[in-house]
C-alpha cells in the first residue's frame, strides 16, 4: 500500500469511528452535540389563551372595554405598575385586593422577554402542539396524539434521560391534554414519552377512591413473583394488534411513582400540598402539585399546563382574575424552586409562553361587570410572548416590540434543546419548523 493511500484510509477509518453511533452507558445512541446551560428546565404553557393587550401590553381595561384604565396585573412575571382603579382581579369580595407579588424581582427583570412572538395557531390544542413539537402542527387532529416528536421525546432520546426525569403536569384530562406526553412518530413515540399526571383528577376525591387505597405488596416476596408470572404470560402472547404503549419506567421508577402518589394522597388529606398562598382556582392548585412533583423527582424537564384564563370566552372579569392567579402561581413555582429545592436552585431555567392569544374584537357576551368577552380566532390571537429566566439567561433584556415581532412559538423546542445541548440532534431529525431558531440565537 502506498503511503498516501495508507494515510487516507487510516484517516477515513478514524473519522468513521467518531461518526458511527455507539451506545453510551446512559442508553443514548449518540453523544450530545453541545454543553448543558442548565440542569433543569420548567416550561409553563401559560394559561389558556392570553390576550397581548392585558398581558405584556399592560392595557387592562383600556384596550378591551373602552375604559381608560391601564396597568400590569402580572406582577410576578412582568415589570410595570398595577392598575389603580376598577380592580376586580384580586381576592375578597369583588376581587378588590390584588395578590401581593411573591417575587421581589419580576421574571422579566431576572431574565429575557420576547414581547411579540407569533404563534402558528389561534387554537388551544394546535397551539400546545406547536409549543411541544416545534413544528407547525397544521395537520394535527384534535383528538390525535402529536404527529411529530415532542420535546419530551427529543430529550429522552438524544439526552438519554430516564422516564422519571421528564414530566408533564396537565391541568386536567379534557381538551386532549393527556395525549400530549408523546407523539405517534415512528422514530420516537411512547418509549421516549414523558410521565404524566393531571393532579386535579389523580389526587381528587375520585382519584382517592380508586388509587389511594392501594394494597402495599412486598417487593421481593409478592411483587417479584407477580411480575415473573406476568412476564411468562406476556411471552406466551403473540400480539397481533397494536403494541401496548410503554413509557419505559423501570420497576424502581414505578415503585417511586407509587410512593409519590401515596405521599400526595396523604398530603392532600392533611392540606399540606405546597400550594401558592392564594390557591382558589385550578391553575394555582395544579402548580402546588407541580412543586411537590419537582421536590420529589427533581426532574430535568417539567412541563406545566395552565388553562384557567380560557374563562374569557364568556367572562372577562374571571379572565382577569385567572390571569392574575396564573402569574401568582408561576411566581410561587419559581420561588419554591429557588427556596425549597436546593438541588434545582441556581441551575434551573423557567420558560413561559401562551399557546395562543385572543381576538382583537369581543364576541358580544357580557359579564356581570358589563364587560365584553373574547374568543380566539383572528390574527390578534396569533400574538403571544415568551419569557425566560434563570441560569445563564441574560437578565433585564427585551427582544422585539409590538412593531417589531421577534420569535415564533415553535422556537421554544429548539431553545430547550439548546439548553440541554441537543439542538443539532433536534435539527438533524428534520421535523421542526424550518423558520424556527433557538431564542438564544435570536438575541
Partner 1 sequence: MPILNKKTALLFLPLVLFCMLFCHCKKDVERIYEVNNIDLLPPNTIKNKNKTNEQYVSILYANLFQKALSANQLFEISQCLQSKGDQVLAREVLISNLMNKKNVIIPTDSVMRLDIDKFITETYIRFLVRRPTEAEKTYFRNYVKSNANVTPELIYFSFALSDEYMFY
Summarize as ranges the residues that interact with partner 1 (CB under 8 A). Answer: 163, 168, 170, 173, 178, 181, 193-199, 201-202, 206-207, 209-215, 217, 221-222, 225-230, 232-234, 236-242, 244-247, 249, 254, 257-258, 261
Minimum CB distance to partner 1, residue 105 (Å): 35
Q: Residue 15 or 224: which CB sits closer to partner 1?
A: 224
Integer CA distances (angstroms), 9 to 1, 3, 18, 21, 228, in order: 10, 10, 14, 20, 51
Q: Residue 10 or 246: which CB sits closer to partner 1?
A: 246
Integer CA distances (angstroms), 280 to 77, 245, 286, 322, 325, in order: 19, 36, 11, 10, 9
Minimum CB distance to partner 1, residue 134 (Å): 20
Q: Residue 297 or 316: which CB sits closer to partner 1?
A: 297
CA–CA separation, 197 and 192 (whole Å): 16
Q: Residue 255 or 401: which CB sits closer to partner 1?
A: 255
CA–CA separation, 225 and 212 (whole Å): 23
Minimum CB distance to partner 1, residue 296 (Å): 15
Q: Residue 14 or 250: which CB sits closer to partner 1?
A: 250
Q: What is the b/e burial string over 312-326, where b = at least 16 CB atoms within 10 angstroms of the residue's CB?
A: bbebbbbbbbbbbbb
Nearest CA among 377, 352, 281, 341 for reference residue 89: 281
Minimum CB distance to partner 1, residue 187 (Å): 20
Q: Residue 307 or 390: which CB sits closer to partner 1?
A: 307
Minimum CB distance to partner 1, residue 268 (Å): 14
CA–CA separation, 247 and 265 (whole Å): 23
Minimum CB distance to partner 1, residue 168 (Å): 7
* C-alpha cell at position 37: 446551560
* C-alpha cell at position 36: 448543558
Minimum CB distance to partner 1, residue 196 (Å): 3
* C-alpha cell at position 32: 450530545
SS3 220: helix
Q: Residue 12 or 142: which CB sits closer to partner 1?
A: 142
Which burial class, exposed, middle or buried, applies to 366 when counting CB atoms under 10 A from its CB (0-12, 13-18, 19+)? middle
Amino acid at each position: 500500500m502506498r503511503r498516501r493511500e495508507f494515510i487516507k484510509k487510516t484517516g477515513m477509518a478514524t473519522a468513521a469511528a467518531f461518526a458511527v453511533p455507539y451506545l453510551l452507558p446512559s442508553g443514548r445512541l449518540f453523544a450530545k452535540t453541545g454543553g448543558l446551560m442548565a440542569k433543569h428546565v420548567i416550561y409553563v404553557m401559560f394559561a389558556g389563551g392570553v390576550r397581548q393587550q392585558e398581558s405584556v401590553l399592560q392595557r387592562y381595561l383600556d384596550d378591551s372595554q373602552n375604559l381608560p384604565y391601564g396597568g400590569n396585573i402580572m406582577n410576578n412575571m412582568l415589570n410595570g405598575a398595577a392598575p389603580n382603579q376598577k380592580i376586580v382581579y384580586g381576592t375578597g369580595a369583588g376581587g378588590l385586593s390584588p395578590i401581593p407579588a411573591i417575587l421581589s424581582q419580576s421574571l422579566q427583570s431576572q431574565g429575557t422577554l420576547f414581547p411579540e412572538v407569533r404563534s402558528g395557531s389561534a387554537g388551544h390544542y394546535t397551539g400546545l402542539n406547536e409549543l411541544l413539537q416545534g413544528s407547525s402542527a397544521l395537520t394535527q387532529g384534535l383528538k390525535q396524539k402529536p404527529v411529530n416528536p415532542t420535546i419530551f421525546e427529543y430529550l429522552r432520546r438524544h439526552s438519554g434521560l430516564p422516564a422519571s426525569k421528564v414530566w408533564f403536569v396537565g391541568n386536567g384530562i379534557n381538551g386532549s391534554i393527556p395525549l400530549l406526553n408523546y407523539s405517534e412518530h415512528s422514530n420516537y413515540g411512547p418509549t421516549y414519552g414523558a410521565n404524566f399526571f393531571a393532579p386535579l383528577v389523580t389526587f381528587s376525591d375520585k382519584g382517592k377512591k380508586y388509587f389511594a387505597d392501594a394494597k402495599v405488596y412486598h417487593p421481593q416476596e409478592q411483587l417479584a413473583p407477580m411480575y415473573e408470572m406476568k412476564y411468562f404470560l406476556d411471552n406466551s402472547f403473540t400480539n397481533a394488534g397494536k403494541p401496548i404503549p410503554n413509557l419505559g419506567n423501570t420497576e424502581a421508577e414505578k415503585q417511586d411513582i407509587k410512593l409519590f402518589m401515596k405521599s400526595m394522597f396523604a398530603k392532600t388529606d392533611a392540606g399540606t400540598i405546597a400550594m401558592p398562598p392564594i390557591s382558589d382556582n385550578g391553575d394555582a392548585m395544579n402548580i402546588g402539585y407541580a412543586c411537590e412533583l419537582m421536590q420529589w423527582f427533581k426532574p430535568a424537564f417539567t412541563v406545566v399546563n395552565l388553562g384557567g384564563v380560557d374563562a374569557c370566552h364568556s367572562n372577562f372579569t374571571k379572565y382577569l382574575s385567572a390571569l392574575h392567579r396564573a402569574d401568582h402561581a408561576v411566581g410561587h413555582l419559581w420561588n419554591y424552586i429557588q427556596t425549597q429545592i436546593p438541588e434545582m436552585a441556581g441551575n434551573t431555567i423557567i420558560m413561559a409562553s401562551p399557546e395562543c392569544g385572543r381576538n382583537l374584537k369581543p364576541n358580544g357576551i357580557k359579564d356581570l361587570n358589563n364587560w365584553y368577552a373574547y374568543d380566539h380566532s383572528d390574527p390578534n390571537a396569533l400574538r403571544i410572548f415568551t419569557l425566560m429566566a434563570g441560569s445563564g439567561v441574560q437578565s433585564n433584556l427585551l427582544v422585539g416590540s409590538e412593531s417589531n415581532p421577534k420569535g415564533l412559538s415553535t422556537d421554544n423546542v429548539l431553545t430547550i434543546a439548546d439548553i440541554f445541548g441537543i439542538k443539532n440532534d433536534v435539527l438533524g431529525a428534520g421535523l421542526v419548523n424550518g423558520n424556527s431558531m433557538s431564542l438564544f440565537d435570536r438575541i
